[in-house]
Chain A
């Protein structure tokens, strides 16, 4: 077979494909799995709901790029509007808009998954060779100091002053020019997304990629998927254009992402036999704090998170009570329009902030959420529930406090918490009272949530999990899942490398199933 990438303009007639493996999704999970199978001589077909783009399409304009590479054009929310669900909708998935932070899964988290959830075959020793290969293939390395923008320099300085542990964030980049447009897709092919790493290799090995093609219905015979029916979408209107793609594959791999895969399973009726579908979800909601400095920060240039604070990655307890932590703390990076969207205030007060753009900095945290969410169907509409109370709220408040402390320590003249009541402080002594007064509630905050996990979690028991240790959906012969929806919890760090390492394990199991 000759590999190729086809979009809605090239799919001129209905298509029927027969192949060894069909992969739904082309992000970190799907592409990583697909390239391993294609290079092993398997005939692989990818289906991707979003469009196929190249670096020439990445024009660094925020609203243009939101429409091209962000699922829901960046406007998809949780059911109560408190969480903005960020995910990819393009060939390459979320890796096209991610920050390229590339952590190995912390050994303590892998041990936790083994001990509490019974995971086998995904321990530190199992994943180590995959991490080695992935880091080599994606050029993962520590950024040189010249890639530290002022906000990252201040983050490191502040951590030193406060005695907080931090380290360079491993970066998947090659030849980065420091433009700062990572979230808009890299116009230089420097960020080592799936679009420029695994997917070209898979296509070179014969894989076919159908972009603008939405996987819809599984046709099953007993426990075996016989056919997958998909619809081709007109990228202009987002509506089906009347063309269809039907795939008959020996194995089908669901890798539509942490937000997408559970919904696909729900729509195909798996909830009736596997009650854990759509349950036990996480998303790393991200509180962010803004700050006004006297000096120029220019947060919108260079690498977003070159250096990070992992001092608080694990929550600490005081007896049975939460004490602090449970998140990573990073320099924030937003381009001007997205920053404008999340800054507090209206009219003249908002404009006054925007005219200080070059002196605005900020910090952001990925909350290692402990309160489980869920996704369910209301008719055909997916409804995502993300609880912000309980342990999640404690972590969010502590992250706000630590962010404010750090920003004030390195010279911020004013810290803004970004709530609609526009809570601001200028002194460290004001932090505790201000953070206690914040209403962590829908409408007062919107927390970006770029790291979904769970919803099709791994485990041995079909009553409490969705896939087994071989990534196969319980009770099926040839349906696998290879994305973060199989994680029992969030991984406590940016998940891209964990997703890829798990996909490597899944690829081996899929390959074995074809033998």
Chain B
């Protein structure tokens, strides 16, 4: 199916009442469609909390949302997708479960919405158009997934020193960062994952 010119006019999944349940059920059911994602991981990509498929959806989301521009590196270049995996690893199990189910659904909802391909297989422009359409659509569970991903992506991107000069932020007065204990625990798992 050929995508229409204006994604906002496209028929989008409208998951209002019971939307969260639909995400849960749909996400669980879609997990069996997991083939091939592991082989697509780039060097340095080491999902710990997310499956390779869920990780790929996050990475594709970040890639579309935060492209490189001028002095600004891309979100993927700054590892924002890996940072979201870290956050999901640290999150309470129910929240992590909600997000994992939402990512499963996001990957395939594009097909139902007439984009002709899975989310991760779309070009960056089409992915961003789909994200914008979800965010602007009538409230529903998929919109909440997109909203949460967007919030985390921008939070972790602009928390990075590399972005500060471009936005005119002179940064903290405390010179030495002191990461939380969870960072070291997560990075130990990443090192183990990279080595295996």
A residues at B contact (CB < 8 Å) = 51, 56-64, 67-68, 72-73, 75-76, 79-81, 179, 181, 187, 234-238, 300, 336-343, 346-348, 350-351, 354-355, 357-358, 381, 420-421, 439, 441-444, 446
Contact = CB atoms under 8 A, between A and B. Distances in A.
Nearest to A62: B159
Contacts of A75: 87, 91, 95, 148, 152
B156 A337 contact: yes
A57 B183 CA distance: 14
Contacts of A337: 154-159
B154 A341 contact: yes
Nearest to B178: A59
Contact of A235 (B147, B173, B174, B181): B181
Given A58-B174, A75-B87, A340-B158, A346 B69 contact: no
Contacts of A61: 159, 172, 177
A347 B67 CA distance: 7
The 3 A-B residue pairs with the shortest CB-CB distance in the complex, in nearest-first order: A236-B185, A60-B172, A443-B143
B36 interface: no
A336 B169 contact: yes
A420 B136 contact: yes
Given A67-B90, A421-B136, A340 B176 contact: no
Contact of B148 (A81, A236, A342, A347): A81
A261 B181 CA distance: 26
User: Does more than half of chain B's interface fall in helix, strand or loop, or is it mixed?
Assistant: helix
A350 B72 CA distance: 13
A371 B148 CA distance: 26
A131 to B, nearest CB: 33
Contacts of B159: 61-63, 337
A58 B180 CA distance: 10
B67 A420 contact: no
B154 A340 contact: yes
B182 interface: yes
A360 B144 CA distance: 26
Nearest to B15: A443
Contacts, number: 138
Contact of B168 (A179, A357, A444): A357
Contacts of B95: 72, 75-76
Contacts of A79: 20
Contacts of B184: 236
Contact of A72 (B65, B69, B92, B157): B92
A381 B92 CA distance: 10
A62 B155 contact: yes
B118 interface: no
Given A72-B91, A236-B181, 20 more contacts: A59-B178, A60-B173, A64-B178, A64-B179, A64-B183, A73-B91, A79-B20, A80-B20, A181-B172, A234-B185, A235-B180, A236-B182, A237-B182, A237-B185, A337-B154, A337-B158, A347-B67, A357-B169, A444-B139, A446-B147
Contact of A336 (B140, B148, B164, B182): B164
B113 interface: no
B10 interface: no
A442 B65 contact: no
A442 B164 contact: no
Contacts of A234: 185
Given A60-B172, A187-B173, A337-B158, A420 B143 contact: yes
Contacts of A237: 182, 185
15 contacts: A59-B174, A59-B177, A59-B178, A73-B91, A236-B182, A236-B184, A236-B185, A337-B158, A347-B64, A350-B154, A354-B167, A357-B168, A420-B136, A421-B136, A446-B147
